[in-house]
Amino acid sequence: MKAVHIGIAGGVALYAGAVILAVAGFRPILPFVVVPPVLVLLIAGGSALGGRDHGRGRGAVRTGGVPLSSSGPNPPRPGDDTPDPGPVGPSGAAGTSGAAGTSEAAGRGGAGPG
């Protein structure tokens, strides 16, 4: 913890030196004088407005059930009473066998409505 205090004191001393140089008329030091307080104010303002919740996101933790498999059929989740839609066709809609009659086929100039 002592090293943290030394680092903070060193940073404050360095910043004070930069401010003295800016007051003395050394213009190239101005970005080093202006940017740190602006960053501190932005970070403090974000924290005051709610800030960021450090930790795992809401979607990262599943409650109950077993891990889902991407390589095969998955078991039903507890409390899931919805029926299985069956095989999904290439167009992404359940029960379809192709892209005929979809906007995908119409966009290519194929058979479709309109």
Residue-wise pLDDT for 23-35, tens only, equals 999 999 999 999 9
Number of domains in the chain: 1
Question: Alpha-carbon distance 8 to 13, whole Å?
Answer: 9
Q: Kindly state whether residue 16 falls inside one of the protein's structural domains.
A: yes
Per-residue pLDDT band at 1 (split at 50, 70, 90): confident
**pTM for the full model?**
0.41
Q: Counting Cβ atoms within 10 Å, is residue 114 exposed (0-12), middle (13-18) or buried (19+)?
A: exposed
Token reading at 49: 């407005």
Q: Kindly state whether residue 91 falls inside one of the protein's structural domains.
A: no
Q: Kindly state whether residue 37 falls inside one of the protein's structural domains.
A: yes
pLDDT tens for 65-110 read 666 677 777 777 766 676 666 676 666 555 555 555 555 545 555 5
Question: What is the domain range of residue 7?
Answer: 2-51
100 in Cβ contact with 111 (< 8 Å): yes
Q: Kindly state whether residue 23 falls inside one of the protein's structural domains.
A: yes
